Amino acid sequence: MKTNLKAVLTGTHTLSGNEAFIEGAFAAGCRFLAAYPIMPAIETIERYLKRSAEVGATFIQMEDEISALAAVIGASWTGKKSMTVTSGPGFSNMMEHLGLGVMLETPCVIVDVQQSGPSLGIPTRAGQGDMMQARWGSHGDYEVITLSPSSPQEMFDFTIKAFNFSEKYRTPVIIMSDEYVAHKKEKVIIPRADEIKITPRRYFKGQKDKYLPFKRDKDFVPRMVDIGDGYKFHVTGLTHDDKGYPIMLEECQEYNVHPILWKIRNDTEKIIEFQEIGTKDAEIVIVYYGATSGAASKAIKQARDLGIKVGSLKLDTVWPFPDKKITELAEKVKAFVVPEINYGQIVSEVERCSYGNANVVFVSHGENGIDNTEDIVSAIKLALNEEKIKKGIIEYQSQTGRV
Amino acid sequence: MEPLRKTEKDIHPMDDLLRMDRIPHIWCPGCGIGTAVTAFAAGLAKAEIDLTKTCIVSGIGCTGRVAGYVKLDSFHTTHGRAIAFATGIQVANPDLKVIVFSGDGDLISIGGNHFIHAARRNINMLVICVNNFIYAMTGGQVAPTTPLATYATTSPFGCVEPPFNIPYLADSSGAVYVARWTALHVRRLTNSIAEALKKPGFSVIEVISPCAMYYSRINRLGDGLDMMKFYHDNTEIRHGEDTKNLDIGFQTKIIVGKFVDRERPTYMDSYNKWLSGTKKD
Amino acid sequence: MKYWEKPFGKEKPKVPNGEIHILKERCKGCGFCVEYCPKDVLEMSDEFNTKGYHPPKIMNEEDCVNCGLCETICPEFAIWCTLKEEVALEN
């Protein structure tokens, strides 16, 4: 693919998370967006349209989120890198086609700008309540790569990463943004186009009648072709064989779905990224991601000033979950503190992976929004004084009081 | 119509348009979907369009299986979302001709929203809607096209909901080409498909098809052949008929023909116009 | 002698005669081709194919005019006809 210089706005900019996402998408080569307007994701569409003419990108506003993701999957098969943006209620709508994207093994990127929930919740406030839905929301077994940026700069970087993962593994990739990251304006440094690493789509090159859309390479990832190249392939959302023909047998279910899961599970070491600070001598490790990063890092500083040995583990990739890292840390540390803007999602994963070797203290940001450094500090103190080896999650009771 | 000709013995002239490794297909004896596919294959050949730049998308259900039997770039997608999927393909690559081949339950019930919106936008695609008045794959439930008082497994006392009139729905939503034929009108259907394939914009062809296994069995209408005989005796061709008058009741007269053929800018026409306007600034 | 126009009746109109091919194993015995053949060339046979259906059999192939209706109406892609010869009409 030719590099479109206009697509990469090299330089330093002040961008919101939503805007940085679009710049990241253009830099990664995305040229198709289908979306349905929803707060707080709407600025992405506006930014996209502002730049689409000069970049040469196509947009269509679909009638709902279900069709938006369907259109994105269809568009991806024409060879265009495609994406959609949405927020909580729309993300629920997309679950149907998240499954289709996994089954058709179609590269695409979904951005979920999380808001509060369930149902309509508060569309103008941040939330992290969709983390489990991203992993388990669609029916059947699937693996999905989920990135969680915490700032506009990360939004830009992770978007490129997301497109690269989606092309490399032929799978939908979800970016779990949230209202806070989406609207926060910060400095974003966009590198030169030749400095951005882009994974190109892996095409099948061979005889036209020999193409099998689901014939796997050694790494379990099949090669793609575009519609209109004359391969006359068939793909289906039903359990299928290498040819893409539906076969209603348990053996085929195993043959088909097992590699879809294992192409990602085998490569978790390469996919998972996290930022680990000061965990070597730490007694307490704070595990956080996305919008809670600000409060968490402030709390870490305050706790360190108090003389508590606190380390931090920021999850860049939430799914696949860094099980091994948590297990390894659980053997060394006394407790984990997990702040989240929900009522307990990733914390249960942390508790699972610690196998009872460390306490897990959960700080819910339910009532205080994202900025409750004090609660996190108090939770760190609580974790320090709690008896060791206590199974189950200890929920920190906020001092500000719950209704 | 000139039938497709090849002189080799034992090779059906349409074999190169179909995925022969999947034949025999799953449809019951007496079902009209196979006939619709034959007419479609004949129409494809007749239209003489570039088959590599043509793709077919289906939803779910009996008719949803069509994509798997036609040798084009073919997609078998989720229930009702075939049009949405096809919209993505068409907008991302406007050079492609997209055909959506699906059933009435799939396109008009669960996919009804996508249907009217694609028609409103005038996305360049041909929608072939096989209407057998029932959900057949799941065992004969009421569909949005089931005529009033018709029996189905979910309407044991007769259907109480008035059905959709598909040509009227398509016409009022903005489709540029609307026709209705039955599985018996194979030649007119073939010609209609060939004509619609060349027409830019959202074209809808409704194919009324016998469902020998559920619709006719539950309603005691005999087998597929009896339904075909019914179409033979009770259809009337009225080209250009006002689509308002095309309601179908239980075993009433069916009006077939080409009802709408008009010009309207497609979505990509308008989009490119907007885009070229932006570039000048 | 040179004709400026072809005189009517100078050339006898030709009627095509078709050869019918049936793939019996594909047939599901729906009877569409038998019922709607305009020349009544086909008839349901008593024999079974491996699926247990009765495929059609050809009764009087000389009547076939190669119209191709059986080919298009067959839901199973099991029957088609090809042009064998064109016979000039007598009288």
Helices (H), B67-223: 82-92, 104, 112-121, 166-173, 186-197, 215-218
Hunting for tokens 């009996």 — which residue is that? B62
> What pLDDT, in 10s, does the model give residues A293-309?
988 999 999 999 999 99
Report the pLDDT value the prediction gives residue B208, as an integer from 0 to 100: 95
All residues at 6 or more sequence positions from C7 whose CB lies less than 8 Å from its CB, including other chains: none
Give the pLDDT score at A143.
93
- CATH code given to domain A274-395: 3.40.50.920
Band (A7; pLDDT cuts 50, 70, 90): confident
The residue type of A362 is F
Q: Provide mean pLDDT across the span A197-217.
A: 90
Q: Neighbouring chains of C at 3+ CB pairs within 8 Å? A: B
What is the pLDDT, as a whole number, of residue A32?
95
- Picking from B58, B3, B53, the residue whose alpha carbon sits closest to that of residue B25 is B58
Domains of chain B, each with CATH number or no CATH: 16-280 (3.40.50.970)
* pLDDT score, position A121: 86
ipTM of the complex: 0.93
Please check whether residue A371 is in contact with residue A321, taking contact to mean a CB–CB distance below 8 angstroms: no
> What's the angle, vertex CA A96, arms to CA A95 and CA A100, rounded to 5?
110
Query: Is B68 near chain A, with CB under 8 Å?
Result: yes
The predicted model gives A97-114 an average pLDDT of 95
Search chain B and give the residue with CA nearest C68.
B3
| pLDDT of A370 | 67
> What's the gap in Å between the CA of B224 and the closest CA on chain C?
7
CB contact under 8 A, C72 and B186: yes
Determine whether A36 is exposed, middle or buried from the number of CB atoms within 10 Å of its CB (0-12, 13-18, 19+).
buried
Residues of chain B with Cβ-Cβ distance to A101 below 8 Å are none
Residues A58, B78: C-beta atoms closer than 8 Å? no
Mean pLDDT of chain B: 91
Give the model's pLDDT for residue B4: 44
The one-letter code for the residue type at A373 is: T
Looking at residue A110, its pLDDT comes to: 96
Report pLDDT for B2: 42
What is the pLDDT, as a whole number, of residue B3?
Answer: 43
Q: How confident is the model at residue A242 (pLDDT cuts 50, 70, 90)?
A: very high
3-state DSSP of B188-209 = HHHHHHHHHHCCCCEEEEEEEC
pLDDT digits (tens, 9 = 90+) for B155-184: 999 999 999 999 999 999 999 999 999 999
Average pLDDT over residues A73-92: 94
Handedness of CA B99, B101, B107, B111 (dihedral sign): negative
Enter the CATH code of domain A5-195. Answer: 3.40.50.970
Res. B274: pLDDT tops 70: yes
- Please give the C-alpha separations between residue C29 and each of A71, A157, B24, C24, C35, in angstroms, as whole numbers: 40, 62, 13, 9, 11
The pLDDT assigned to C9 comes to 72
Residues B238-245: what's their mean pLDDT?
94
Beta strands in B48-161 (DSSP E): 54-58, 73-76, 97-103, 125-131, 134-135, 141-142
pLDDT tens-digit series, residues A297-343 = 999 999 999 999 999 999 999 999 999 999 999 999 999 999 998 88
Omega before A320 within 30 of 0, i.e. cis: yes
pTM of the full predicted structure? 0.93
Spatial separation of the C-alpha atoms in residues C74 and B32, rounded to whole Å: 9
Phi (first) and psi of residue B271, to 5 degrees: -65, -45
- The answer to whether residue B76 neighbours chain C at the CB level (below 8 Å) is no
What per-residue confidence (pLDDT) applies to A3?
53
Whether residue A246 lies within 8 A of chain B, CB to CB, comes out as: yes
Q: pLDDT-based confidence at C91, cuts 50/70/90?
A: low
Long-range (24+ apart) CB contacts under 8 A made by A214-218 are A214/A105, A214/A240, A214/A241, A214/A242, A214/A243, A214/A244, A214/A256, A215/A242, A216/A242, A216/A259, A216/A263
Calculate mean pLDDT across residues C83-88. 82
B219-225 — which CB contacts under 8 Å span 24+ positions? B219/B150, B219/B151, B219/B250, B221/B251, B223/B29, B223/B30, B223/C30, B224/B28, B224/B29, B224/B30, B224/B31, B224/B32, B224/C30, B224/C32, B225/B30, B225/C30, B225/C31, B225/C32, B225/C35
Q: How far is A29 from chain B (nearest CA, A)?
A: 14
Q: Which two tokens stand for residue B73?
A: 């770039």
Q: For residue range B77-128, list pLDDT tens digits in order.
A: 999 999 999 999 999 999 999 999 999 999 999 999 999 999 999 999 999 9
Confidence band, pLDDT 50/70/90 cuts, at residue A185 = very high
Region B132-158 average pLDDT: 93
Give pLDDT, residue C86.
Answer: 81
Neighbours of chain A (3+ CB pairs under 8 A): B
Between chain B and chain C, the number of residue pairs with CB atoms below 8 A apart is 89
A&B contacts, CB < 8 Å: 133
Domain segments of chain A: what residues?
5-195, 274-395
